[in-house]
Structure formats: C-alpha cells, structure tokens
Amino acid sequence: MENKKTNKREFTGLVVSDKMDKTVVVKITTKVLHPLYKKYVTKSVKYKAHDENNDAKIGDTVRIMECRPISKEKSWNLQEVIERAK
C-alpha cells in the first residue's frame, strides 16, 4: 500500500473559549498585505474544533486539522496542545 498525502488543512492558533462540552474556539491570526496601501493588516478567523477529552483551556496554543462536519459549525479536530497557558 502507498502512503496517501492528506489534503486536509492544518492551522496553529490560540484557544479563546472552552465553555462548551468537547468543543474549543480557536482564533487563527494571519498578516495579509493590503492591495492598495501596501501595509500588512492582521486578519483573524475563529474556528470551532472538536476536543474529545476537554484537554485545551483558554490561552493554550493548539494545532487543529480539518475533518468531516461534526455539527453545523464544527468541522475541525484538535490535534495537539502545543503550549499550555501560563
């Protein structure tokens, strides 16, 4: 069998909410060059990610990976907690 490369997206972000059961809200920030003013603008997106064991807490840096839709707004899985909040 051959190893298949997955086409799933992966992001590293900050947990901004863990109030839901088995779900965390992860904020992904990127810097984008503005087309007219040629300055970098910070853009952020929030994703809901499935956290089976309720491992992640607010302030943790985590890695999430795209998966099949789990609910209406949740189609990301928590892969690992990279750094714990202080």
Residues 8-27: tens digit of each pLDDT: 899 999 999 999 999 999 99
What does the pLDDT look like over 31-56, one tens digit per residue? Answer: 999 999 999 999 999 999 999 999 99
Residue of 60, 81, 71 whose CA lies nearest to 23: 71
Domain ranges of the chain: 10-83
Alpha carbon distance 6, 81 (integer Å): 21
Domain covering 10-83 in this structure, CATH number: 2.40.50.140
| Entry pTM | 0.87
pLDDT band for 61, please (50, 70, 90 cuts): very high
Question: Rg of the chain over CA atoms, in angstroms?
Answer: 15
Is residue 86 pLDDT above 90, yes or no? no
Residue of 63, 64, 58, 68 whose CA lies nearest to 77: 64
